[in-house]
Amino acid sequence: MKKQAKISNAVIKRLPRYRRYLNELRKKGVDKISSNEFSSLIGYTASQIRQDLNNFGGFGQQGYGYSVEGLYNEISAILGLDKNYKMVVVGAGNLGRAIANHTYYYKTGFIVEGIFEIDPELIGKKINDVEIMNYEDIVEFVEENDIDIGIICTTKDVAQEVADKLCFAGVRGLWNFAPVDIETPSHVAIENVHISDSLHSLAYHMSKNAEEKNK
């Protein structure tokens, strides 16, 4: 696999979507797909698709199309999804439970090893056989179990503090659901998920539709 040094974030953000569609095709038993067919499925232009995939050396052959299985595996490898990741969830509220369940049901290489809380009523309970533990013990747990990713499902006001503790304990990535942009040292990757941003985009498109209608 040929990798290039610098691929834009915009391309990286599209790869999980490519992978999802390829996975659906795989499951349906589709072997090959042309960039035109892929375009009508995924909603990007064929030239965009060719350009995106060329970033990684180009997997397609002229007049033949892409191998669905091959491309799926390559994109999975590029995304680092051919490895396993150990994760902890901080915060066992509804969102923490939803995320823990979500990764459990989709049985990918992302494994929740522990869930941490400060609420004594929740500590000791289990979610999908994973114990809810005392947040005070998180550094020790992360260190001893070589945890890769911390998932932050706390309130906004404590999120950065939790992030700092997780970074100190040695995680390599943070997946943050608290509605604040968390900062990390450069060796720790961060994805800040702002659920309401997509609701605000939705509101925009609804307003646009209403304007069109009233024209």
Residue 80 interacts with a second copy (CB under 8 A): yes or no: yes
Of 14-22, 28-36, 117-125, 137-145, the segment contacting a second copy by CB under 8 A is 14-22
Of 25-33, 94-102, 113-121, 129-137, the segment contacting a second copy by CB under 8 A is 94-102
Q: Residue 32: helix, strand or coil by DSSP?
A: strand
Q: Which residues fall within 8 angstroms of residue 52, CB to CB, at 6 or more apart?
A: 11, 14, 15, 18, 44
Residue 79 interacts with a second copy (CB under 8 A): yes or no: yes
Of 51-59, 64-72, 93-101, 162-170, the segment contacting a second copy by CB under 8 A is 93-101
CA geometry: angle at 159 spanning 158 and 165, to 5°?
Answer: 90
Q: Residue 8: helix, strand or coil by DSSP?
A: coil
Residue 158 interacts with a second copy (CB under 8 A): yes or no: no
Shorter beta-carbon distance to a second copy: residue 136 or 161 = 161
Residue 1 interacts with a second copy (CB under 8 A): yes or no: no
Residue 124 interacts with a second copy (CB under 8 A): yes or no: no
- Contact call for residues 124 and 149 (beta carbons, < 8 A): no
Out of 32, 50, 86, 172, the residue judged to bind a second copy by CB under 8 A: 172
Shorter beta-carbon distance to a second copy: residue 28 or 195 = 195
- Using alpha carbons, list the distances in angstroms from residue 73 to 18, 42, 94, 111: 11, 18, 34, 20
Q: Could you tell me which of 116, 113, 122 has the C-alpha nearest to residue 135?
A: 116
Separation of alpha carbons 133 and 118, rounded Å? 8
Binding site for a second copy (CB under 8 A): 10, 12-13, 15-17, 19-20, 78-81, 83, 85, 93-95, 97-99, 101-103, 106, 108, 110, 148-149, 172-175, 179, 187-191, 193-210, 213
